[in-house]
Amino acid sequence: MPSRVFPFVVLGGVLLLIAVSSLFMVGETELALRLRFGEIVATGYKPGLHWKIPLVDRVVKFERRVVTQSYPQETFLTNENRGLIVDFYVKWKVKDAANYFRATGGREEIAGERLAEIVKDGIKGVVAQRTLEQIVTAERAAVTGDMFGNASKAAGQELGIDLIDVRVQRIDLPEDVATRVYESMKQNFEKLARSLRGVGERESQRIRAEAERKRAETLAAAARESLEVRGQGDAEAAEIYARVYSRNPEFYAFYRSLQAYKNSLGKEGDVLVVTPDSEFFKYIKSPAPGRR
């Protein structure tokens, strides 16, 4: 390489190095801010290539996407001064890059710790207002719903964080407390069950008594109606018999005697005591009408 060309090559390389060090890339999932001697000079960069002053400016990038962090085995006290173990998690993302950097130095673990303290203070206030039984029997959303607004506001002002969600994963009790609480709840539920069974038994007896009354009334009405119908039938039958038998009284007497013979004679073990001249044997002695 000619000696007079070499300086231009070196100069080109230096210029290229300066140009490369003057550019920085912001991705779709990133937030960035530019620092100059430790002071924030620019924020709000959109995805793409951007300029900076080499050796003077420094670019700090943060995750734009939602971050999820879990916090297990956190202990809170109820208004009865009883311990309650709560597992919860939070979802958040950076909203104000400058405020976030000033509060946390851009370190996600520090942001998570400070956000956890804000959320725990809110949950502590909610738990302290309720009894252990109210918390255990309530929906989990009730534990976080009351404090979410205040925690979200504090996270935004203090940390530049947008608090998206706070969810309680598990509510548990220390073993000694759990035994007492469950026993107390068991007794309360048994008392409630006895009360409900008593109400049910009284209602059952009332329904049965009402059903028996209606049954008796229905049977009495049916019996009365059947007697009326039977009486009408017997009256009609008697009228028909009287009308028919009046046409031939002798035949009627003969027929009645045959029925009496059928019902009285020929049964094993029966004893019939009558005089020989009794009217009972009238038609046995002489079946002809008018003769003995």
In whole numbers, what is the pLDDT of the chain averaged over residues? 80
Band (200; pLDDT cuts 50, 70, 90): very high
The answer to whether 55 and 42 are in contact (CB under 8 A) is no
Work out the pLDDT band at 19, boundaries 50, 70, 90: low
pLDDT: which is higher, 276 or 35: 35
Res 210: pLDDT: 93
Confidence (pLDDT) at 125: 82
Class of domain 67-173: alpha beta
> Tell me: the pLDDT tens digits for 277-289?
666 666 655 655 5
Joined together, the tokens standing for residue 247 give: 């046409």
Contact residues for 131 (Cβ-Cβ < 8 A; gap 6+): 78, 79, 80
Q: Which of 97, 98, 92 is nearest to 155 (CA)?
A: 92
Most confident of 18-32, 82-96, 138-152: 82-96
pLDDT on residue 287 = 56
pLDDT for the residue numbered 292:
43
User: What is the 8-class DSSP label of residue 65?
Assistant: S
User: For residue 204, what pLDDT band results from cuts at 50, 70 and 90?
Assistant: very high
Residues in contact with 68: Cβ distance below 8 Å, sequence separation at least 6, in sequence order? 89, 90, 91
Query: Please, which residues bridge with residue 44 across strands?
Result: none
Work out the average pLDDT over 9-32.
Answer: 75
What confidence tens digit (pLDDT) does each residue in 215-264 have? 999 999 999 999 999 999 988 888 887 777 777 777 777 777 777 767 76
Q: How many CB atoms lie within 10 A of CB 205?
A: 10
Rounded Cα–Cα distance for residues 145 and 56 (Å): 47
- Comparison of pLDDT for 255 and 45, the residue scoring more: 45
Q: Are 83 and 127 in contact (CB under 8 A)?
A: no
